[in-house]
Structure 1
């Protein structure tokens, strides 16, 4: 066992040690990258929290929730959005949002394959502490948006005899 004095000396050496040696050792490290620099801040943990504790909470939604969370594990998108049926915040789908191109593309669920700016009705932000969504008084989609609704008439699309996913939207 080390005496108290020698352990204090080791601490002092550590504090006074040159930072150049630690920078060199980091530069020489050739092992696996443990930290991947994000291209932009991700809201994936927020979306997972929203799905689990708000959108698909409770025993009645457990099967759907587990399927959606499993799908989210495979998703590599940094920014996701939930599509609601309407202001009642009923979960319909998860979309991937690219801030660079402003493309909103369906990842999983029921809804149009892509969502354009003209299709959007309302935008929402999720509050993890209150476990609820609130409307954002904005017209443009950004990385601060966690959910959205599309205009009601877009849900009325029925194409008899068309091939699709059975939800009124082409797959």
Structure 2
């Protein structure tokens, strides 16, 4: 059992310690130990996926080079590939902002922006297996490399396209 004096000394030490730690933490300007995951980029993974999986082979070379050029100019740290459907057919590249949760098109064929209710499935790319696998989640995060949107969103209704004879 602690005597009253030693417990008082411990309290005082704790108070002094908390005061000094709050002062030092306010003055500390060095690197943070915890890094926001948004600072990590998946761009190399996406480039790898485009080159070796989505648009691999001679037949896709022209489209692949155009897409890779666009990616080179893109400032975004996190990119997401849009697939046509579960067959993982490449359609577009989107920039994802973890802070605003905005998904906006960089290049390709698809909606200008993708919102949560449009998303059907989410995918992660495995560089060593050179394939995408479904992630069992409904929320977009920096761990998502590709997604599909609901199939009815691909059927664009153009007003006045029905011709009368």
Name the residue aligned to 1:133: 132
Q: Does 1:108 align with 2:100?
A: no
C-alpha displacement of 1:121: 0.1
Q: TM-score, normalised by structure 2?
A: 0.73
In 2, distance between residues paired with 1:110 and 1:101? 23
Name the residue aligned to 1:122: 121
C-alpha displacement of 1:160: 3.4
- Structure 1: runs of 5+ lacking an equivalent: 1-37, 163-171
C-alpha displacement of 1:161: 5.4
Closer/same/farther in 2, CA of residues 161 and 76 from structure 1, 3 Å limit: farther
Q: Does 1:69 align with 2:68?
A: yes
Q: Cα deviation per residue 1:72-92 (whole Å; 9 max; x = unaligned)?
A: 000010000000000000000
Name the residue aligned to 1:56: 55
TM superposition outliers: structure 1 runs of 4+ over 2 Å: none
CA RMSD of superposed structures (Å): 1.4
CA contact (8 A) 2:38 2:98 kept: no
Matches within 5 A, 1:24-63: 40-63=39-62
In 2, distance between residues paired with 1:39 and 1:117? 19
Partner of 1:139, secondary structure, is coil
In 2, distance between residues paired with 1:161 and 1:106? 27
- Structure 2: runs of 5+ lacking an equivalent: 1-36
Partner of 2:67, secondary structure, is helix
Closer/same/farther in 2, CA of residues 89 and 39 from structure 1, 3 Å limit: closer
In 2, distance between residues paired with 1:114 and 1:84? 14
Partner of 1:87, secondary structure, is coil
In 2, distance between residues paired with 1:41 and 1:159? 40
